[in-house]
Structure 1
Amino acid sequence: MSFKKVIGQADTKQHLVEMVQQNKLAHALLFLGKEGSGALPMALAFAQYVVCEKVNRRGAAADPGPSLFGDAEPAPEPALLNDACGECAACQKAQQMMHPDIHYSYPVIPRKPGDKPLSTDYISEWREFMGQYPYGNIYDWLQFIGAENKQGNITAYECNDIIRKLNLKSFESGFKILLLWMPEYLGNEGNKLLKLIEEPPADTLFILVAENEAQILATILSRTQLVKIPSLTTQEIANALGDRANLQPDQARQIASISEGNYREALQLLNHAGEDWISLVREWLNAILKNGPISQVKWVDDVSKLGREKQKQFLRYFNHLLEMAIRLQAMGPDALTLPEAEKDFALRLNKLTSFAQQEAIIKELDNAAYYIERNANAKMLFHALTIKLYHIMATRQTLTVL
Structure 2
Amino acid sequence: MQFNRIIGHQALKEQLVSTVKENRVSHAQLFLGPEGSGSLALALAYAQFINCEDKQATDSCGKCSSCIKYEKLIHPDLHFSYPFFAKKADETATTYMEEWRKAFLDNPYLSLNHWRGQLEADNKQANINIAEAHDIIKKLSLKAFEAEYKVLIMWLPEYLDTQGNALLKLIEEPPAKTLFLLVAENQDKILNTIISRTQLVKVNKLSHEELATYLVQEKHLSSDRANEIAFIADGNIQEAIDQLAEESNTHFDLLIRWFRFIVTDSGLNIIQLCEEELSKLGRENQKIFIIYCINVLRQIVLVQNGASNMLFLKGQELEFVQKFSEITSLEQLTEAIDLLEKTHYSVERNANPKILFLDLSLQLVLLFKYKSSLKETQYI
Same fold, TM exceeding 0.5?
yes
Cα deviation, residue 195, structure 1 = 1.0
Cα deviation, residue 11, structure 1 = 1.1
Kindly report structure 1 stretches of 4+ aligned residues shifted beyond 6 Å.
332-335
Q: Does 1:98 align with 2:97?
A: no
The 5-angstrom pairing of residues 59-208 of structure 1 reads 81-110=57-86, 112=87, 114-208=88-182
CA contact 1:19–1:25 (8 Å) conserved in 2:
yes
Q: Does 1:308 align with 2:275?
A: no
CA contact 2:128–2:160 (8 Å) conserved in 1:
yes
SS state of the match for residue 117, structure 2?
Answer: helix
CA distance in 1, matches of 2:175, 2:248: 53
Q: Aligned in 2, Cα 1:167/1:333: closer, same or farther, shift over 3 Å?
A: closer
CA distance in 2, matches of 1:144, 1:31: 24
Q: Aligned in 2, Cα 1:148/1:277: closer, same or farther, shift over 3 Å?
A: farther
Q: Does 1:234 align with 2:179?
A: no
Q: Does 1:277 align with 2:242?
A: no
CA distance in 1, matches of 2:308, 2:151: 53
Cα deviation, residue 388, structure 1 = 1.1
Q: Aligned in 2, Cα 1:7/1:347: closer, same or farther, shift over 3 Å?
A: same
Compute the RMSD of aligned alpha carbons.
2.3
CA contact 2:248–2:285 (8 Å) conserved in 1:
no
CA distance in 2, matches of 1:195, 1:264: 35
Q: Aligned in 2, Cα 1:297/1:134: closer, same or farther, shift over 3 Å?
A: same
The aligned length equals 372
Q: Aligned in 2, Cα 1:379/1:2: closer, same or farther, shift over 3 Å?
A: same
Q: Does 1:384 align with 2:370?
A: no
Instruction: Work out the percentage of aligned pairs sharing the same amino acid.
Output: 41
Q: Does 1:369 align with 2:347?
A: no
CA distance in 1, matches of 2:100, 2:58: 27
What's the CA shift string for 1:37-72, capped at 9, x where partnerless? 1101101111111111113xxxxxxxxxxxxxxxxx
Q: Does 1:209 align with 2:194?
A: no
Q: Aligned in 2, Cα 1:352/1:85: closer, same or farther, shift over 3 Å?
A: same
SS state of the match for residue 54, structure 1?
Answer: coil
CA contact 1:108–1:117 (8 Å) conserved in 2:
no
Q: Aligned in 2, Cα 1:316/1:191: closer, same or farther, shift over 3 Å?
A: same
Q: Which has the larger radius of gyration?
A: 1
Aligned to 1:77: none
CA contact 1:51–1:173 (8 Å) conserved in 2:
yes
Aligned to 1:43: 43
CA distance in 2, matches of 1:17, 1:336: 34
Cα deviation, residue 337, structure 1 = 6.7
Q: What amino acid does structure 2 have at the position aligned with 1:177? A: V
Cα deviation, residue 90, structure 1 = 0.7
Cα deviation, residue 290, structure 1 = 3.7
Q: What amino acid does structure 1 have at the position aligned with 2:139? A: K
CA distance in 2, matches of 1:284, 1:145: 37
1:320 alignment partner, one of 270, 274, 295: 295
CA contact 2:32–2:39 (8 Å) conserved in 1:
yes
CA distance in 2, matches of 1:273, 1:325: 27
SS state of the match for residue 100, structure 1?
Answer: coil
Q: Aligned in 2, Cα 1:351/1:17: closer, same or farther, shift over 3 Å?
A: closer
Cα deviation, residue 284, structure 1 = 1.9
CA contact 2:264–2:369 (8 Å) conserved in 1:
no
CA contact 2:30–2:199 (8 Å) conserved in 1:
yes
SS state of the match for residue 227, structure 1?
Answer: strand
Q: What amino acid does structure 2 have at the position aligned with 1:42? A: L
CA distance in 1, matches of 2:326, 2:174: 63
What's the CA shift string for 1:284-337, capped at 9, x where partnerless? 224334463333233222322333221111011112322333445555999967
Aligned to 2:376: none
Q: What amino acid does structure 1 have at the position aligned with 2:319? A: D
Q: What amino acid does structure 2 have at the position aligned with 1:168? A: L
Per mean C-alpha deviation after superposition, the further-off stretch among 274-283 and 154-163 is 274-283
TM-score (norm 1): 0.86
Aligned to 1:243: 217
CA distance in 2, matches of 1:308, 1:146: 19
CA distance in 1, matches of 2:137, 2:305: 57
Gaps in structure 2 of 5+ consecutive residues: 374-380
Q: What amino acid does structure 2 have at the position aligned with 1:340? A: G
Q: Does 1:353 align with 2:345?
A: no
CA distance in 2, matches of 1:150, 1:300: 31
CA contact 1:197–1:206 (8 Å) conserved in 2:
yes
The 5-angstrom pairing of residues 249-288 of structure 1 reads 249-272=223-246, 274-288=248-262
SS state of the match for residue 144, structure 1?
Answer: coil
Cα deviation, residue 397, structure 1 = 4.9
CA contact 1:109–1:117 (8 Å) conserved in 2:
no
CA contact 1:391–1:397 (8 Å) conserved in 2:
no
CA distance in 2, matches of 1:397, 1:117: 57
SS state of the match for residue 80, structure 2?
Answer: strand
Gaps in structure 1 of 5+ consecutive residues: 56-79
CA contact 1:182–1:208 (8 Å) conserved in 2:
yes
CA contact 1:322–1:349 (8 Å) conserved in 2:
no
CA distance in 1, matches of 2:317, 2:244: 17
CA distance in 2, matches of 1:17, 1:294: 61
Q: Aligned in 2, Cα 1:327/1:222: closer, same or farther, shift over 3 Å?
A: closer
Aligned to 1:76: none
SS state of the match for residue 178, structure 1?
Answer: strand
CA contact 2:133–2:167 (8 Å) conserved in 1:
yes
Cα deviation, residue 260, structure 1 = 1.9
TM-score (norm 2): 0.90
Aligned to 2:28: 28
Q: What amino acid does structure 2 have at the position aligned with 1:109? A: F
